[in-house]
Structure 1
Amino acid sequence: MSRTSAGVGTTQLVLLLLFITLWEVAGRQRWIDPLLFSYPTKIYQQLYTSMADGSIWPHVAMTVVETVTGFALGTIIGTAIAAALWWFPFLSRVMDPYLVVLNSMPKVALGPIFIVLLGPGLMSIVTISLSVTVIITTINIYNRFREIDSGYIKVVRLLGASKSQLFRLVILPGSFPVIISTLKVNVGLSWVGVIVGEFLVAKLGLGYLIIYGFQVFNFTLVLSSLVVIGIVATIMYQLVAALERKLTQGWRER
């Protein structure tokens, strides 16, 4: 680890500890309303109790399953649609205004429609997550497909490559960094879609715990749920980052 990286990590840790300490003092001294904002030791006690009695684990498991499903399907479906748009230029010209409209539309507003169509449950929540991730994945990857060096494409075609070979050997490898970066974006987007879906319909999950905490004015429960979301989302992001490093290294070696 370089000295710069060590310095950055140390600074981040110091800032986090200062924030937690200030929050703790402000809550205990009632500089802030402890009912609304709680403070770290109360949140820790809430988490410790719910973990010890096992009450929080089903909620965490459900939200993680929904998020991973939405994340994986969103990336796969978005990439497949981008490939279809590249493969069929006529289709891309037809779909272009619709993609613009869908991208600008607040996708979570479609949540009630999905719930009515699919019923309350896993399917509707995953679909809400997909509505958030698929369009941005499609647009990002398709734009990268179109930005591949046209001169390089002409050379490959002159050498007799078919369209499938062109896509497999030129377009897809040239878009690999963008596909990987889109994975990182989709981590956050899939969490947004799932939590919003759980707000609307779930009876199990971290989003449900947040809504329940608001309903019973237990804001410590709300904040502890947010802490768990932050921790699990960070772990998921780091796993994707590790996958990016591994795949990028292999891609460069090839």
Structure 2
Amino acid sequence: MTLTATESGPVRIGLERTWWQRHGTSAVVWSLRIGLLVLILVLWQLAADRWIDSTFTSKPTEIVKRLGEWSADGTLWTNSWITVQEIVYGFLLGAAAGAIAGFVLASMNLIYRVLDPFVMALYSIPKVALAPLFIVWFGIGMHMKVLLAAATVFFLVFLNTAAGVREVDRGLIDAVRLMGGSRGDIARRVVLPASMTGVLTGLKVSIPYALIGAVIGELVASNRGLGYLINDAASQFDTAGVFATLVVLSVIAGVLNVFVGLIGRRVNRWKPLDD
């Protein structure tokens, strides 16, 4: 342990910790995750054609083989890029609209109470049911899938953002008012930072729904994208192709989750660290 001090500042205590003390818990968690994944894949491979019919479940080796074939001929990259664009554009559009609407409307109590039952009614509509309507309105191009993904994301981000705004500590708001703060000061310095937990929760929860919206659009009407690959593989009873596509979608969701997590760490730097 070392002690350092500045001329006018407080004494700072620097703790010398080993690598294991700093990263031991994370290392154990990741080791267990990898071990569990390997165990599942090994059991799956052993069970195929022994205890279960691989026609319906395929095998990990067959899935890897299919991914290799699709990578070699460009099928995987072309269709994945199309779906990634639809997911990212839909996620960004829906998240931005939902966060702004949630922040603004939840700050106006009367208007929020008036609109709340209508928002919940629209949120309750299965997004699968919107796909045919969106096809009529926007055709079967990329715009339809982007807007369907955005519509799916919008309500989740909106509701979580609104909940975060409405749960802001009233004592903080009153304190800023007593110090002469304007409505703009309260919104920028109190409500916005305190509601970021709700925003980030909405972003994390909505990531898989962005995938769902885009893939549903491709399943209903498309001749390209990962949803099309699933449809095409299923029509040929190619379970390895279906699972291969699901693996790619899982990777995309994981990358988006990591990205949102990095944003969350940066936004929440002002919060105290957990014990």
Q: TM-score of the superposition, structure 1-length normalised?
A: 0.93
Matched with 2:261 is 241
1:171 partnered with 2:171? no
Q: Deviations over 1:121-140 (max 9, x none)?
A: 11111111122111121111
Q: What aligned pairs does 1:154-233 form with structure 2 within 5 A after superposition?
A: 154-233=174-253
In structure 1, the residue corresponding to 2:75 is in which secondary structure? coil
Please state how far the C-alpha of 1:252 moved relative to its aligned partner: 4.4
* Of 3, 8, 12, the match for 2:29: 8
| Structure 1 unmatched runs, 5+ | none
In structure 1, the residue corresponding to 2:78 is in which secondary structure? helix
| Higher RCO structure, 1 or 2 (CA under 8 Å, sep 6+) | 1
Conserved 8 A contact 2:158-2:202: no
1:21 partnered with 2:21? no
Conserved 8 A contact 1:195-1:206: yes
Worse-superposed segment, 59-68 or 168-177: 168-177
- Name the count of aligned residue pairs: 251
Conserved 8 A contact 2:95-2:157: yes
Matched with 2:62 is 42
* Of 104, 116, 119, the match for 2:124: 104
Change in CA separation of 1:243 and 1:87 when aligned onto 2, cut-off 3 Å = closer
Conserved 8 A contact 1:74-1:133: yes
* Of 35, 44, 57, the match for 2:77: 57
Distance 2:264 2:154 in 1: 20
Please state how far the C-alpha of 1:238 moved relative to its aligned partner: 1.4
Distance 1:164 1:201 in 2: 46
Matched with 2:91 is 71
Give the structure with higher Rg (CA): 2
Conserved 8 A contact 1:85-1:91: yes
Distance 1:90 1:51 in 2: 55
RMSD: 1.7
Q: TM-score of the superposition, structure 2-length normalised?
A: 0.86
Identical-residue share of aligned pairs (%): 35
